[in-house]
Structure formats: C-alpha cells, structure tokens
Amino acid sequence: MGSIVIEDLQPTLDGGRHPVKRVLGEPLRVEADVFKEGHDVLAAVVRWRHHLATGAEGWSERPLLPLGNDRFGAELILPKLGRYAFTVEAWADGFATWVEELNRRLEAGQEVQSELLEGAALLDAAATRAEPVAPAEAQRLRALAAELRGTDPTKARAAAQDPQTRALAARHPDRSVSTRLEPPCEVRVERVQAACAAWYEFFPRSGGGPGHHRSLREAEDVLPAISELGFDVVYLPPIHPIGVTARKGKNNARLAAKGDVGSPWAIGSAAGGHKAVHPELGSLEDFRRFLGRAAEHGLEVALDLAFQCSPDHPYVTAHPEWFHHRPDGSIKTAENPPKRYEDIVNFDFLGPARESLWTELKSVVDHWIAQGVKTFRVDNPHTKPLPFWEWLLRSVLDEHPDVVFLAEAFTRPKVMRALAKVGFSQSYTYFTWRNSKDELRAYLEELTQGPAAEFMRGNLWPNTPDILPEGLQRGGPPAFKIRFALAATLSSVYGIYMGYEWCEARALHGEEYLDSEKYQLASWDFDRPGEIRGFIAAINRARREHPALRHYKTLRFHEADNDRVLFYGKQTPEGEDPLLIAISLDPFEPQETTLQLPTAALGLAPNEACEATELLSGQKVLWQGKSATIRLTPQAPAAIWSLRRFSRREAAFDYF
C-alpha cells in the first residue's frame, strides 16, 4: 500500500452509495485530487469495468491528466448499456521524478554521472516489467539504459531528457506500491431515450362515442395523429382488469352507477391481475399487436406500473399475507386522511411475506418486458419503501439495461431525489406549479446544472389526468402554447396528456378535470376549434431537427429586461447547434423586451453579425452587437432562433 492520498473523486453520489447516470455516448468526466508527501511526480489512471465482466482482465484504464493544484482528470465514453464500476489508482513515477531532479542538477551545473547510473537502473527495471507484454519496448528500454551508462555524457543526457524516453518508461511503471481508491464508485449507462423523449398520454378505452368502451385494436387509429404531432413515446394508463368492489363513479363519485367503468388504477378482478389485459381492451396478443403498430409509426409504448390492487384482485384471495390488515382481520383499504380509497388496497411491502411479494412484483415487470415493453411510468413510487425500489430497479436494469423507469412522484424534494438515486431514469417535477420567471429559472437551474443533474432527469408535464393547473384553466390557447413551449425546450424530456392539443380546460374543482377520464369514458372531437396541433408539431419538429434541444444539461439562462419574458439558450455539449429561445409568460398581452445576446458564449466578436432564423415562423433576421429587441404575442408567445455566423465573404459582400 502506497502513501498517496486520493480524494474528492467526481462524479460520485453519496460517496459512491448510488450510481451516477449517463446515456450512451455521453461523456463521463472523472476527476480526483491525487497527492503525497515529498516532491515525487505522480501518475494516475481511471479504471472501469462493466458489471458483467469478471476478473482482472475485465478492467480498462485511461491515464488521468494533471489539471493543476493536485487535481487530475480524464473523459470516458463508456461503450455499452449497463452498470459500471470505476475508481482511480495512482503511483509515484520514479523515472519522471528522476528526470526532473536531473534537470535541476544540470541547470545548477552539477556533476550527474552517478545520477545517470541511477536513471539507467530505473530503465532496466522498466524493461524487466515490459518483457512479458512488450518485448520490443523492453529491448528499446535496455538500449536507452546502455546510453545512460555510456562514455559520451552529451549523448547520455540527451537520451535521459528525451520526452519519448520518459513516455516509454511511463508505459511500464512500478505499481507495486500504488494506491487504489476502494470501494469503486458506479455509473449506470442508459439508452438515449432515458434522457430525451416526448411523451403523449392517452386512455385507449376512450374516444369511441357515448358509452362505447374501445379496444386496443380500435385505439390503434390514434397512433398516426400522435406520430404526426412529433411524439415518440405513447404512455398508456393501466390496461389491466378493473375491480368491481367500491368502484368509483363519474367525477370520482363514491358510488358507481350501472355501466360506470371505474378507475384503471383499481387493478384486478376475476378476469385477472397485473399480468392480464382488461377484457374490453382485448388480449395479450392485442397488446403485442398495439406495440407493433406503434413501432410502425416511430412510437414506443410506455406502460403504467401501479403496485396496488382492487379488493377483487386474485392476489387478495391467494396471498392475504401480502396486505395490511385491520385488527378485525379485514384488509385495509388505501387512505390519505381524510381521503379514503375504498376501491384500492395496498401491499405490505415490509411485512413478514416481503420476500415472496417482492419476487412476484418483479415477475410483473419481467412479464411486460417479455411482451415488448421497455418503458414504465411508475405510479406513486414515493408511497412504497425505497429499499424495495432499489432492489427491484437494480435487479431489472442489470438484466435489461435498456429499460426506462419514470417516477410519478409529486412529493417532497428529498424523496424525489432519493427515488432518482435508487434507479429511476426520469422523474416528474414541480414544473407544473412554477410560473414566474424567477421560479422557472431557479428550478430549472437546480435540475439541469446543480448536483441533481448527475442522477435526476426532470420530465416536464404541463398537465396530467390528475392536474389541470389554474393557469391553463384561465389562459386559453395562449397559455397552453406557453406551457408546452417551456416544457419542450427547457428539458430534453417532457410529456402531455391527451386533450392538451385541444386546450381542454374544463375543471370540476381545484385542479381536477371535469368528467375526468380516470373514472369514465370520454369522446374527443378531433376538429374542435381552438386547437394548437400545428404549434405542437412545429416545436417537436425543431426538437428532431436540432440536436441542442435533445440535450438536458446544456440549458443556460440569459438576460431579458422584461419580467414576463424568459430567455435562455441550448447547444450540444461540443458547442454546436447554438439555439436561443424566448418565451412570453403572459397569455393575455403582447410583451416586448431587449435580449442581452450571449456573444462570448456563442464565440462572436463584440460587434460581429450573425443570421438568426426563427424556427417556428421561418423568419430570418440579422443580429449584430450585444442586444436585440423582440416582440412576443399571445398568439405567437415563443421564438426559437438558430444562429449562423457569416463567412468573411458573406459579411463583406453577399448579405449586405
């Protein structure tokens, strides 16, 4: 064991307790402080290994480069999906230390014959280590050692000071007294869709006219319209059989009337449980067919994962030990006082039968993965124990590293972050309730640029079946445009619930939809006035055509002198495809503002001109200098500019 100190390894999460996250192709920048007593030159490497690799041969290495002040760093691109261990190892580079000491002696005019013999011995030792793996390099090292022992002092000094000699010796170091940071930390590499996706939620049972429960085969006719709008994930609420006991009626009425279809989240009946399809929706074969039809339109299907049951679920009879019981022996229904959910019973996740329960719930996930599902939206994960999610997600993702989990957790910030730490790829956020310029800026900077960005990806939803925000209720189509543009450009991953494109804003009370699809069938008028489908399609088209909008961590806010205009930019991590975005936060009145253009960040000289193309209208303007004045209206509340610098010839002749 060496005396080198290695500390402040980054990126790590809770001291290595949980993996940080990357997507395929995204760099992992590894840095650490590395130092020891004395004046030795230190060498360090980052070591990494995929969790499926075994033995010493499974480790790869890359040199860490000195960054100054004892800080070392390097960048990795990990080649495949899954979980990796990574750590840092460091040692004293004996030959490099000797070279630096030799140079100081030569500068002082001292005799160095004895020192040259020491250097020759170091090269001989390096040659011995090289012999088994690189015989040609071993031969070259011995030849250099001979030059250092030679009678020509000029030639010996030249060989000693040659950078190539130092580099060759460094390839075969003495690591017998190296220091390695243990235990290793982890990073999980996910597919790109874990950080970049446009979600569209709809209830497949709705849309068939009054009282008509549609099937999955009938619901296939919605897929072309979703694809044309530019979405790439179709999210279905639970598709399982629905219980009859205490079934909820229309508008969450406590008692259901004849013909009421109930809540899809009250899972389980005599027709089956979590591994079955509601009979009126069809069969497993119909579901697999739906997946195929969606794929033909470039759409992936996300399935709701709700670990709760109707009192009629087969689990209740077959495994009463999996549930909470009252003192009288009856199974306890779900509660959030003063509310009671008589149509739902919860599992006892930490009860005596937890081992068999957890195994069964994992088999539910495995079942739907076997049908072809690769994305799950998980209902209320914050009401289940974190140890359960950590075990389940690690088990599933180690076997199926291409699966994506979205946490539907509108809860306390630390609980939301804890869920992300234990493996959820994405998380719902508080975006729905962030409205002012300062609120939006502070929150999105926290999500995309703060420590949370290493492990938590915010999936921004302007609405859900549970949430019709007050701003959408009052603001009409302009408000729907504003919130959509914010969600789709502030984050690389976002979603909407069907009806958004028609600006559905009828509320029952608070943020609850009137005639909510959670409890009844709905009929949609695809040609109703006031729709914003063209606006949605245009922004999704910009997301597909411009890589900058598909990145999560490159969001940067800029200054605009109007508190009702949010101004920000995005580009690729390499600095390509620079975009500037301005969005009015006022759905009622036009807003003018002067934008402070980030010329330095864009690589523009202070008075250099550039061409700005507004992607939603196609209008081109010339920007020159550090500011630009714009006007946004309720009808056109958002602008996205793609920037192009002029060539010397264009600037001098063509454009002007």
**Catalytic positions:** 379, 408
Neighbours of 314 (CB within 10 A): 18
Strand, coil or helix: 566: strand
Taking phi over 0 as left and psi of -120 to 50 as alpha, with beta for the rest, 190 belongs to beta
The Cα 303–Cα 194 span in angstroms is 15
Closest CA to 23 of 426, 512, 472: 426
In whole angstroms, give the CA distance from residue 112 to residue 104: 10
Tell me how far apart the terminal alpha carbons of the chain are, to the nearest angstrom: 69
Q: Which of 35, 30, 41, 37 is nearest to 88 (CA)?
A: 30
**Residue 652 is encoded by which pair of tokens?**
């001098």
Amino acid at 269: S
Residue 425: half-sphere exposure toward Cβ, Cα within 13 Å = 29
The answer to whether 271 and 279 have CB atoms below 8 angstroms apart is: yes
Compute the distance between CA of residue 512 and CA of residue 251 in angstroms, rounded to an integer: 9
Stated length of the chain: 656
Provide φ and ψ at 224, rounded to 5°.
-60, -40
CA separation for the pair 366, 360 (Å, rounded): 10
54 CB contacts (<8 Å, ≥6 apart)?
none
Q: Quick one: 372 exposed, middle or buried, by C-beta within 10 A (0-12, 13-18, 19+)? A: middle
Beta-carbon count within 10 A of 588 CB: 12
CB neighbour burial string for 211-224, b if at least 16 within 10 angstroms, e if fewer: eebbbbebbbebbe
Measured from the Cβ of residue 456, the count of other Cβ atoms closer than 10 Å reads 24
Peptide bond before residue 401 is cis, with ω within 30 degrees of 0: no
DSSP code per residue over 623-643: EESSEEEEEE-SSS-EEEEEE
Per-residue burial over 31-59, b = 16 or more CB atoms within 10 Å of its CB, e = otherwise: bbbbbbeeebbbbbbbbbbbbeeeeeeeb
Place of tokens 């946004």: 632
Strand partners, 467: 464
Burial of residue 166, with CB atoms counted within 10 A of its CB: 0-12 exposed, 13-18 middle, 19 or more buried: middle
CA atoms lying within 13 Å on the CB side of residue 438: 1
Contact between 561 and 594 under an 8 Å Cβ cutoff? The reply is yes
Residues near 12 by Cβ (< 8 Å), separated by ≥ 6? 20, 185
The structure tokens listed for 75 are 């960048």
Contact partners, residue 273, CB within 8 Å, separation at least 6? 240, 241, 267, 309, 313, 314, 315
Helix crossing, 354-371 with 284-296: angle to 10°?
Answer: 50
Rounded Cα–Cα distance for residues 171 and 166 (Å): 9
Beta bridge pairs of residue 555: none
Helices 354-371 and 386-399: crossing angle in degrees, nearest 10, is 40
